[in-house]
Amino acid sequence: MKNITKIIIGIGIIFLCISVVSAAQLNQMFKAPSGLEAVGNNDFVDKQGHNLMISEYNDENKQTWFENDTETMYMVQPYENNPNIYIGITDEDNYFLEVIEKDGTKYIVGSWTPNDSQEDFSMIAENLLEFNKLNKVTPVEV
C-alpha cells in the first residue's frame, strides 16, 4: 500500500511539473520566503526539508490536490482559520495548499515538508503566508 501511495504522489508531482506555464518559469515570476531557493521551473527548496511548489490551476490539478483520495490515503480539508487555505496529508508529506490569482491566471501554491521532518507543522504554514505577503496575493476560492 505504501508503494502505491508513493507512485500516486510521484505521478501527481510529475503531472504538476508537466502542467507548468511554458512561457516563463514560475519560480521566476514569484518571490519565495527567505532561505528557499529556486529548483526547476516551479519549485523552491531549502536545506531543512521545506518545499514550495507552484503550478497552473486547472481541473486536473484541482482534482489531484483538492479532493480526498481514500485509495492513496490522501486527505485534504479547509484550514480552520481560513477556508481558502487547505491542509493536505499523506503517509509521507504534510501540505498547506491554496489557489492564488496573478495577472488573470490562477495558480496552485503548496508549502510542504516530509512527515519525517523535525519541523513543526506551523513552519510550512508560515512559508505560505510569507509567500503571499512577498507576492502581494491572497488565496481565492477553489
For the chain, what is the mean pLDDT? 80
Burial 83-103 (b: 16+ CB within 10 A, else e): eebbbbebeebbbbbbbbeee
Tally of structural domains, the chain: 1
Asked if residue 24 belongs to a domain, the reply is: yes
Asked if residue 34 belongs to a domain, the reply is: yes
pLDDT at 108 over 60: yes
Model confidence pLDDT, tens digit, residues 22-47: 435 776 788 888 888 888 878 888 88
Residue range of the domain that includes 30: 2-135
Mean pLDDT to the nearest integer, 90-118 = 86
Range in 8-12, 65-69, 88-92, 94-98 the model is least confident about: 8-12
DSSP letter for each residue of 98-135:
EEEEETTEEEEEEEEEETT-SS-HHHHHHHHHHHHHHH
Q: What is the pLDDT of residue 19?
A: 47
Asked if residue 48 belongs to a domain, the reply is: yes
Alpha helix segments (H runs only) across the chain: 2-18, 26-29, 59-66, 121-135
Confidence of residue 133 (pLDDT cuts 50, 70, 90): very high
Asked if residue 51 belongs to a domain, the reply is: yes
Asked if residue 140 belongs to a domain, the reply is: no
Distance between CA atoms of 71 and 13, rounded to whole angstroms?
17
Asked if residue 71 belongs to a domain, the reply is: yes
Q: Give the length of the chain.
A: 142
Distance between CA atoms of 137 and 99, rounded to whole angstroms?
10
Q: What is the pLDDT of residue 34?
A: 86
Asked if residue 73 belongs to a domain, the reply is: yes
